[in-house]
Amino acid sequence: SKRRVIFFLYSWCVCGLFLFLIMLSFFGKSRFFLFSFYCLFYFVLVIKSSLGKNEYVSPDELNIKTSGFLGYKCDFSTEGIHNLEPDIVERRSVICSINSYFIYDKIKLIIPKQDDPKSKFKLLPENCFAKVYSDIEGHQEIPIEKTGLVEYTLEENDTNKDYDERIIQISPFNNKDVEFYCICDNTEQVISHIDGRSALVHVHVLKYPHNIISVNLTDKMYPYLPGTYNKNSFVDYKLEVGLKEGELLVLACKQIDNKCFQKNDESKNGDLYKTNKIIYHKDFTLFKAPIYVKSNDSTAECKCKINETDIYTITVKPDYDEKVIHGCNFSNDLSIRTFTNNMNLLKYNENTDINCNVEIVQPFYDHLIGISCPGTIIPDCF
Q: What 3-state DSSP class applies to 46?
A: helix
Comparing CA positions, the residue from 327, 282, 267, 261 lying closest to residue 171 is: 282
Q: 266 in a domain, yes or no?
A: yes
Contact 344, 372 (CB under 8 A): no
Q: Which of 146, 180, 205 is the last residue of a domain?
A: 205
Residues 252 and 345 in one domain: no
Q: Which of 154, 187, 205 is the last residue of a domain?
A: 205
Question: Residue 155 and residue 166: Cα distance in Å, rounded?
Answer: 6
pLDDT (0 to 100) of residue 370:
87
Residue 201 lies in domain:
68-205
Residue 31 CB neighbours (<10 A):
12
User: What string of DSSP letters covers 127-160?
Assistant: TTTTEEEEETTTTEEEEGGGTT--SEEEEEE--S
Residues 149 and 74 in one domain: yes
Q: 378 in a domain, yes or no?
A: no
Residues 333 and 294 in one domain: no
Residues 345 and 310 in one domain: no
Q: 62 in a domain, yes or no?
A: no
Q: 129 in a domain, yes or no?
A: yes
Amino acid at 127: N
Residues 200 and 260 in one domain: no
- The tally of domains found in the chain comes to 4
Report pLDDT digits (tens) over 94-134.
888 999 999 999 999 998 887 766 667 788 998 999 999 99
Q: 106 in a domain, yes or no?
A: yes
Exposure of 339 by Cβ count < 10 A (0-12 exposed, 13-18 middle, 19+ buried)? buried
Q: 24 in a domain, yes or no?
A: yes
Residues 7 and 86 in one domain: no
Residues 216 and 120 in one domain: no
Residues 136 and 254 in one domain: no
Residues 274 and 181 in one domain: no
Q: Which positions of the chain have pLDDT values less than 70?
A: 1-53, 66-68, 80-92, 116-119, 188-196, 266-270, 291-297, 364-366
Residues 96 and 223 in one domain: no
Residues 199 and 299 in one domain: no
Q: Model pTM?
A: 0.72
CATH code for the domain of 85: 2.60.40.2860
Could you tell me how many residues make up the chain? 382
Q: 59 in a domain, yes or no?
A: no
Report pLDDT digits (tens) over 125-160.
989 999 999 988 878 899 999 999 999 999 999 898
Residues 182 and 294 in one domain: no
Q: 20 in a domain, yes or no?
A: yes
| Cα 305–Cα 309–Cα 315 angle in degrees, nearest 5 | 45
Q: Which of 174, 205, 236 is the last residue of a domain?
A: 205
Report pLDDT digits (tens) over 233-245.
999 999 999 998 8
Question: Residue 246 and residue 288: Cα distance in Å, rounded?
Answer: 6
